[in-house]
Amino acid sequence: MKNIFFYTLFAFIFFSNIKFNAQSQSAAVLSVYTQSAKISPEMAESVLRVEMTKTEQFKVIDKLDMKEILEENQIDITNCYGKKCLLRVGKSAGVDKVITGSIENLGKKIVITVKILDVASESYDKVAIEEFINLDSEIQNMVKIVVNKSLGIENSKEILSTLVYFNQPPETPTTYIKNNGPRMGLSYVIGNTSKILSAPETNGGWGHKNPVVMSQLGYQFEGSYLSAGDFQALIEGMIFLNGIEKEMFSPSFALLNGFRSSKNGWEFGFGPTFRLTKMAKGYYLGDTLGGSYDVIDDWRLASEWNGPGINPYEDKDRIDKRGTTRLKTGWVWAIGRTFHSGYLNIPVNLFYSSGKDGGYIGLSMGFNIAKKD
């Protein structure tokens, strides 16, 4: 028991002494270089000073005290970024460490560097650099991550989960856009399909006003089967419920082969579409859509009442409210672009879906959280 007590006491004194020595070292924060970032050098310096002070690793000189030291020693730090100038300031201030850094916007990334200069040895004893997604509103959290990294402090998972950062060099990132997420839009019905939907219910139509515009509500999921730099080849699946506001049950599924540029967000796709809709076998009196239309079952029923007869008109399959639900196929072409707002992806697509009786021209959009690997 005496040995355990002795070792415990020794460890407590040892680690307390380490912490005391670390905190007894003084430090000055100055001259944070910024390039194309939406933060001024003065504000960047203040952020670095705050985050370094919060670590309790050094006795960081206050901003106003540092200002007095510079004025007393007549030191201009307007362009004081090099080691020689930083050492001059550190010796004038009588500190053990001079802490500096940089915040640079490199287009798709923000790169943050923190350097700790030891005044006695006149060399940098700690340097940390990290690359982040370009999100100016999170610069303070980014600085906190790099400060902790420079001091060997483990960053909490909560902090890391708020930012997507890269470990690869800033000049060669490989990024991927994934647009899994909800979709919504409108489609304008064209061709014979529009005429049928606007026909009277007694004629197999739905009685909609012309032109026929329908809403779309659904979900898109996708996977990449080829990726090279900024180019992606995709398989995209889209499930939609169409015309809910018109009391229609017409779900559809599209399977597209797509191509996308991750650099600018433009994409193009094409593939089959499958739609559940009510259809019937019938005939036109006069062989045109302008003539009246009837279903075969009605003609057979009339034959039972009026005696057998021969229908002189050609049988045709057509969408018809009086019919049964069947699977109808078509082909869809789509072109669009994905816009970005921070973590948010906003895909917008223009599409054309064609079929035997007509088709649909529409615009859809969605949203999802950015995924970059």
- The pairing of beta strand 293-295 with beta strand 324-341: unpaired
pLDDT of residue 286: 54
pLDDT of residue 345: 84
Please give the domain boundaries of the chain with CATH numbers for all domains. Answer: 21-166 (3.40.50.10070), 181-369 (2.40.160)
Full-model pTM: 0.49
Tell me the torsion sign for CA atoms 326, 329, 335, 338: positive
Task: For residue 234, list its beta bridge partners.
Answer: 224, 258
> Rounded to the nearest 10 degrees, how much is the dihedral formed by the CA atoms of 287, 324, 190, 212?
120
pLDDT of residue 155: 81
Distance between CA 127 and CA 146 in Å, rounded? 9
pLDDT in tens, the chain (373 residues): 555 555 454 554 444 454 444 457 999 999 999 998 889 999 999 999 999 999 999 999 999 999 899 888 888 888 899 999 999 999 999 999 999 999 999 888 899 999 999 999 999 999 999 888 888 888 998 899 999 999 998 887 766 666 655 444 444 444 456 778 899 999 999 888 888 888 887 777 788 777 788 899 999 988 888 877 678 899 999 999 988 887 777 899 999 999 988 778 899 999 999 999 888 777 666 544 444 556 665 545 444 444 455 555 566 777 888 788 889 899 999 999 988 776 788 899 999 998 877 889 999 999 887 654 4
Task: Give the list of residues 6+ apart from residue 199 with CB closer than 8 angstroms, or none.
Answer: 205, 206, 207, 293
pLDDT of residue 320: 81
pLDDT of residue 180: 85
Give the number of residues written for the chain: 373
Using the structure block, give the residue that is written with the tokens 């079952």: 297
Identify whether the C-beta of residue 197 lies closer than 8 Å to the C-beta of residue 189: yes
pLDDT of residue 368: 81
Using the structure block, give the residue that is written with the tokens 């009510």: 278
pLDDT of residue 87: 93
Identify whether the C-beta of residue 110 lies closer than 8 Å to the C-beta of residue 134: yes
Distance between CA 19 and CA 292 in Å, rounded? 93
